[in-house]
Amino acid sequence: MAKNMTVKVMSDKSISLALNRIAHEIIEKNKGVDDVVIVGIRTGGAVLADRLKKILDGICDADVSVGIIDITLYRDDIQVKLDQPLVQKTEILFDLVDKVVVLVDDVLYTGRTVRAALDAIVDFGRPRAIQLAILVDRGHRELPIRADYAGKEIPTSKSERVEVHLKEISGKDEVIIDRSGRGGV
Amino acid sequence: MSLKIHHLLGLEGVSADDIRLILDTAVSFKEILARKIPKVPTLRGTTVANLFYEPSTRTRFSFELAEKRLSADTINFTTSGSSVAKGESLKDTVWNIEAMKIDIVVIRHSASGAPHYLATCCKSTVINAGDGAHEHPTQGLLDMYTMREKYGKLQGLKVVIVGDIKHSRVARSNIWGLLTMGAKVAVCGPPTLLPVEMEKFGVEVHDDLDEALRGADIVNILRLQKERQKTGLLPSLREYSRYYGITRDRLDLLNDNFTIMHPGPMNRGVEISSEVAEGPYSVILPQVTNGVAVRMAVLYLLSGGKGKVDEE
């Protein structure tokens, strides 16, 4: 892959600033974190959810519950895909009823992943509200879904590929756009 | 990730990778069963026909529950009160059901090989829910799942299968699966209920129970199929129970942290004593729970791959 085909759009510093800002916005909007729980979408969202929890705990001197959701079984393309995606565990070990669930994912694109996650969450109970926190919003929605908290909005074309690298998974923090024409998230 | 197999007809010849994928997937499905709403929309629009040509409670309920937990539509078929009573052949029955747009056929049949035959003559995915004395692959998988859940691995475990090996499809599926996964398998039963040349499967063969149990980790006790004992293979149930029944005092021969399994339904006091069936080392009821998760994994993994890759 030629080097000029990829552009770095967020550095480790800007990712960290964005998460801190999102944390403050969550506190502001919900007047504290008493009823707030965080649920990250596997895999990138789960890592970001953990980081948000630590920031919120630090600011509010609280212990915010954090869970992981795997949306594989709620996808709408199971029967059109050649490969069955590997189903991983969902870990929500607390009660969601009457809580404010902050759903966390790395990239918001078509909105289909979020749609699947919303379906999955309501199977665990009836939260008072569900809010969406996203690191990168790249546009091209196919469903009426928007983020309540967004780290960065990046206009992209569908042929571009947005890659979010996180320390816990790939050893470094950065967001890059790949213009080599493969498309996808 | 996807399976190499397109039907689940037996565990003979199924690769270790496929078995591992099914067992790993079942771990995630078990979590779903513990949820407040234990149901996911994954197989919406998929129709499953459960064809039970032989009586079954556990397996039929387990499959049906697995299908419903995945939101598939199910239709059930039992031989009494169906066109089979009017003399329709297996192939015609399936073709007719298929004409109503079926995706998956789950079949139990008294004839060994019936699911294999179906797989050659129909377009649906076929899952064997027990065929004659041949195989019962989902039982083999759920037994392996249960063992792996307790010991964290299958490699190197020593499993003894006790009872009527000759008529047991559970035994055959366990043997094939466990050997593929690197476990050591021994079978034990009265010589009249041990097939000749059993060693060729790659298992140890015993007719002395104490000898078989020594140093084993897991005892999988087969149901003595009373309905198959009319032909004089056993002198009496009492004699069978005395020589091959698993009782509390026999358990001392096993390794520490041993496990007792039984595919059900149990004949208490014949192949297993009540004390053993209800002991803390018994995983007979967890086996039933795990059965639903494993069957969900099989249905999920076998139902993919009908179109083009659409990567989000």
Examine the domain organization and report whether B201 and B128 are in the same domain: no
- CB-based contact (8 Å) between A178 and chain B? no
Output B280 or A79, whichever has higher pLDDT: B280
B119 lies in a domain?
yes
B11 lies in a domain?
no
Examine the domain organization and report whether B163 and B132 are in the same domain: no
A40-44, B89-93, B102-106: the lowest-pLDDT one: B89-93
Examine the domain organization and report whether B201 and B122 are in the same domain: no
How far away is chain B from the Cα of A59, in angstroms, using its nearest Cα?
32
Q: What is the dihedral of CA A164, A168, A172, A174, to 10 degrees?
A: 20
**How is residue A1 written in tokens?**
């892959």
CB-based contacts of B191, cutoff 8 Å, min separation 6: B207
For chain A, domain boundaries: 3-24+34-75+88-178
Examine the domain organization and report whether B188 and B56 are in the same domain: no
The whole-number average pLDDT for the span B177-182 is 98
Q: Domain total for chain B?
A: 2
Residues in chain B with CB shorter than 8 Å from the CB of A127 are none
Residue B245, CA atoms < 13 Å, CB-side half-sphere: 22
The one-letter amino acid code at A130 reads I
Q: What is the pLDDT of residues A54-107, one digit of tens each?
A: 999 999 999 999 999 999 888 877 665 556 677 888 888 899 999 999 999 999
Alpha carbon distance A7, B94 (integer Å): 57
The whole-number average pLDDT for the span B137-145 is 98
Q: Enumerate long-range contacts of A50-56, CB under 8 Å, 24 or more apart.
A: A50/A168, A51/A19, A52/A19, A52/A22, A52/A23, A52/A26, A52/A102, A52/A104, A52/A133, A55/A19, A55/A20, A55/A23, A56/A23, A56/A26, A56/A27
Q: How many CB pairs under 8 A join A and B?
A: 88
Q: Cβ contact (<8 Å) for A77 and B303?
A: no
- Alpha-carbon Rg for chain B, nearest whole angstrom, is 20
Alpha carbon distance B257, B260 (integer Å): 10
How far away is chain B from the Cα of A124, in angstroms, using its nearest Cα?
6
B312 lies in a domain?
no
| Secondary structure of residue B149 in the 3-state scheme | helix
Alpha carbon distance B24, B263 (integer Å): 21
Alpha carbon distance A136, A132 (integer Å): 12
Domain holding B175, by residue range, is 138-283
Examine the domain organization and report whether B242 and B263 are in the same domain: yes
Would you say residue B261 has pLDDT above 90? yes
- CB-based contact (8 Å) between B253 and chain A? no
Preferred mutation among A42, A72, A73 to probe B, highest tally of B CBs within 10 A: A73
B173 lies in a domain?
yes
- CB-based contact (8 Å) between A123 and chain B? yes
CATH of range A3-24+34-75+88-178; options 2.40.50.140, 3.30.200.20, 3.40.50.850, 3.40.50.2020: 3.40.50.2020
- CB-based contact (8 Å) between A112 and chain B? yes
Chain B, 42 to 61: residues with Cβ < 8 Å from chain A are: 42-43, 45-46
- CB-based contact (8 Å) between B2 and chain A? yes
Work out the pLDDT band at B214, boundaries 50, 70, 90. very high
How far away is chain B from the Cα of A149, in angstroms, using its nearest Cα?
22
Chain A, 18 to 77: residues with Cβ < 8 Å from chain B are: 70, 73-75, 77
B4 lies in a domain?
no
Preferred mutation among B40, B104, B300, B301 to probe A, highest tally of A CBs within 10 A: B40
User: Tell me, what's the pLDDT at A182?
Assistant: 66
What distances in angstroms separate CA B77 from CA B19, B68, B80, B82, one per listed residue? Answer: 29, 16, 9, 7
Examine the domain organization and report whether B119 and B171 are in the same domain: no
Examine the domain organization and report whether B132 and B203 are in the same domain: no
* Among A83, A89, A91, beta carbon nearest to B304: A83
Alpha carbon distance B301, A84 (integer Å): 6
User: Tell me, what's the pLDDT at B310?
Assistant: 34
E strands of chain A, at which residues? 6-10, 36-41, 66-69, 100-108, 129-137, 149-153, 161-165, 174-178
* Among A74, A78, A88, beta carbon nearest to B28: A88
Residues in chain A with CB shorter than 8 Å from the CB of B41 are 73-74, 119
The one-letter amino acid code at B165 reads I
Residues in chain B with CB shorter than 8 Å from the CB of A78 are 42-43, 303-304
Would you say residue B82 has pLDDT above 90? no
The whole-number average pLDDT for the span B160-180 is 96
Alpha carbon distance B220, B173 (integer Å): 12
Each of the 185 residues of chain A gets a pLDDT tens digit; together they read 455 688 999 999 999 999 999 999 999 999 999 999 999 998 899 999 999 999 999 999 999 999 999 998 888 776 655 566 778 888 888 999 999 999 999 999 999 999 999 999 998 889 999 999 999 999 999 999 999 999 999 999 989 999 999 999 999 999 999 988 766 66
**How is residue B138 written in tokens?**
């989902």
Preferred mutation among B22, B28, B69, B70 to probe A, highest tally of A CBs within 10 A: B28
How far away is chain B from the Cα of A168, in angstroms, using its nearest Cα?
22
C-beta separation of B301 from A101 below 8 A? no
Examine the domain organization and report whether B118 and B20 are in the same domain: yes
Output B109 or A85, whichever has higher pLDDT: B109
CATH number at residue B52: 3.40.50.1370
As a whole-number percent, the residues of chain B with pLDDT over 90 amount to 76
What distances in angstroms separate CA B11 from CA B15, B142, B173, one per listed residue? Answer: 8, 12, 6
The whole-number average pLDDT for the span B50-76 is 93
Edge-to-edge strand order for the sheet containing A174-178? Answer: A6-10, A174-178, A161-165
DSSP B24-67: HHHHHHHHHHTSSS----TTTT-EEEEEESS--SHHHHHHHHHH
Chain B CA closest to residue A122: B37
C-beta separation of B286 from B30 below 8 A? no
Alpha carbon distance B77, B48 (integer Å): 11
Examine the domain organization and report whether B196 and B67 are in the same domain: no
Residue bearing tokens 């059900």: B264
Would you say residue B244 has pLDDT above 90? yes
Examine the domain organization and report whether B92 and B157 are in the same domain: no
Alpha carbon distance B233, B256 (integer Å): 34
| Secondary structure of residue B268 in the 3-state scheme | strand
Examine the domain organization and report whether B21 and B99 are in the same domain: yes
How far away is chain A from the Cα of B300, in angstroms, using its nearest Cα?
8
Whole-number mean pLDDT of chain B?
A: 91
Angle, CA B232 vertex, CA B226 and CA B234 arms, to 5°? 65
Examine the domain organization and report whether B144 and B165 are in the same domain: yes
Q: Cβ contact (<8 Å) for A83 and B25?
A: no
Q: Cβ contact (<8 Å) for A84 and B308?
A: no
B202 lies in a domain?
yes
